[in-house]
Chain A
């Protein structure tokens, strides 16, 4: 390949990377956390941490028992069984047909509360959710976890941003994704020794070290980076189109309204263990949801996650089984498999992005690959500054470079600090505060804004170190704060096998360590810089004139 082509690609790589790199970093960070969005939401509702989920059969029995009591007149019941990712039992019901003075009305307040929370969550974006009510698996009592946007906020942010309409958010994210795709492709062309330098990391070599880190993060997870950006583009394009799934539901509802009301089937007569056994035999994955149509006396079981890339990847499970409510015979098996090659390709690409098929081991590997992406973008951003700083050591700092530096600090160190603030707010804002989910989100953005102001007010190196130290401190103390405000303590979470809380706390401690190390690295670099100027993370000439 001629040097000219490589140079043009390097130019394209640098500018495509920089101009949308700040947003790209935020998308990568929040998107990576979104692989664990249900787990994050669970962590953010400590009211749920005390209850241990039991066996599916036992849980389903208890839920039916509760529903008989709570909503005897409801046309439909839904039970969400505890899963690896959401270890709580929840129930919901469709009470439209019920009499106003029936027993259901005693629990109408619970239902209304859940519906209001769901309406607020739906207004923030994403697919409409069914408002469920959490049930304590041990006692059967209804639990009211605190209102929070949880991991869903970070998940929604990563494809539709915030403070703007869903459409413009997605358009902007689409543009960033396109720039990312271009940056990756041109980066491959620019990389001179992709095989020779495959395992190479040269320490303490200034710009060289940054480039090695950037290359390693990019090359090792290259298949992931290509997949995630390309499928991201496809998903953004696809979500702008109307959902076919929603239309289907509306049709089904219409059909039901036309049906004449008949007697409602009792849940207690259902041969539950037979049904669950049949489902276990038919599928390789656990049962996630049971939906009762009490007028037709059928129960539909949905799988917890997909076991094929060609099943419908989002908007509901890919496999369903419908049973007769009296004798438990299998009436219908529905597998939403792709029909042709194009559909299969389309679904597989989307499924790969969402990663909902992944068990916990693979989910962690997805998470690590996502971290690789964030490291790639962050080192790329820093490199851009380091490179230009190295060229001019004396003269005035151009306003553009100073601006890029400020944005780098706020986008990289500041975002981590803001996310830590979001989790702190979750534990510190009292559980009963009205509109507290929105308040948590506000505090996140306030913290993030402050980091940009701080970066503008301080010298770059000082700003980096201070933000990394504060952010690291917040993450390091988070497990302690969590324990002090009523959740589990890390050792007891491990002891009781609550791996979500234990994993979350462990990741916080690890994040803190990485941030402290980065801060120390920069401090050491600047000390050495005073002597030999061999390693500037940021050239000292970038410091505002005093």
Chain B
């Protein structure tokens, strides 16, 4: 259950990163389509909401939120590292 929460959370953060032009370019190495941004953002927040639910179900009302926030720290960091890492291959990262 906790593993599910972490994966869904990772998907959520990754989608949120993709909803930003800068990170889309870093991660996908191509220009984003203008219509995709809102969809990515919506899907990202939806995934995060689902992961909150999964966390609460797995660890309860007291420890669920602690788990969610504690793992969010690591998962968001991984997305940041991924984006910064992938940006290097691109001559004009910005």
A residues whose Cβ falls under 8 Å from a Cβ of B: 196, 198-203, 216, 220-221, 223-224, 308-309, 348, 352, 357, 361-362, 365-366, 368-369, 372
Q: Does B87 contact A (CB under 8 A)?
A: yes
**Separation in Å of the A305 CB from the closest CB of chain B?**
12
CA distance A434 to B34 in the complex (A): 73
Q: 5 pairs across A/B with beta carbons < 8 Å?
A: A201-B83, A216-B77, A224-B73, A368-B74, A369-B70
User: Which B residues touch A216, using CB under 8 A?
Assistant: 77, 80
Report Cα–Cα, A220/B20, bound state, in Å: 18
Chain A residues near B79 (CB, 8 Å)?
A: 199
Q: How far apart sit A348 and B65, CA to CA, in the bound complex (Å)?
A: 13
Q: Is the CB of A199 within 8 A of B20?
A: yes
Across the interface, B76 reaches (CB within 8 A) one of A220, A357, A361, A362, namely A220
B23 within 8 A of partner (CB): yes
What are the nearest 6 A-B pairs in CB distance? A365-B70, A201-B84, A221-B73, A220-B76, A199-B17, A220-B73
How far in angstroms is the closest Cβ of chain B from A324? 33
Contacts of B23 in A (CB 8 A): 199-200
Q: Mark B50-89, 1 if CB is under 8 A from A, else 0.
A: 0000000000001100110111111011011101100110
B-side interface residues, number (CB < 8 Å) = 27
Residues of B within 8 A of A196 (CB): 20
Contacts of A361 in B (CB 8 A): 2
Is the C-beta of B22 less than 8 angstroms from some C-beta in chain A?
yes
A298 CA to B2 CA, complexed, in Å: 40
User: Please, which residues of chain B bring their CB within 8 A of the CB of A357?
Assistant: 63
B13 CB contacts on chain A under 8 angstroms: 199
List the B residue with the shortest CB-CB distance to A221: B73
What A residues does B71 contact at CB under 8 A?
Answer: 365
Known: A308-B62, A309-B62, A357-B63. A199 touches B76 (CB 8 A): yes
Other A-B pairs, 17, CB within 8 Å; known A198-B76, A199-B16, A365-B74 = A198-B16, A199-B83, A200-B22, A200-B23, A200-B80, A201-B80, A203-B84, A216-B80, A220-B72, A220-B73, A220-B77, A223-B69, A224-B70, A348-B62, A357-B63, A365-B70, A369-B73
Residue pair A203, B77 in contact (C-beta under 8 Å): no
* Chain B residues whose CB sits within 8 angstroms of the CB of A223 once the complex forms: 69
In the assembled complex, which residues on chain A have CB atoms less than 8 Å from the CB atom of B22? 200
Q: Which residues of chain B are within 8 angstroms of A369 by Cβ–Cβ distance?
A: 70, 73
With A and B bound together, what is the CA distance between A352 and B72 in angstroms?
Answer: 17
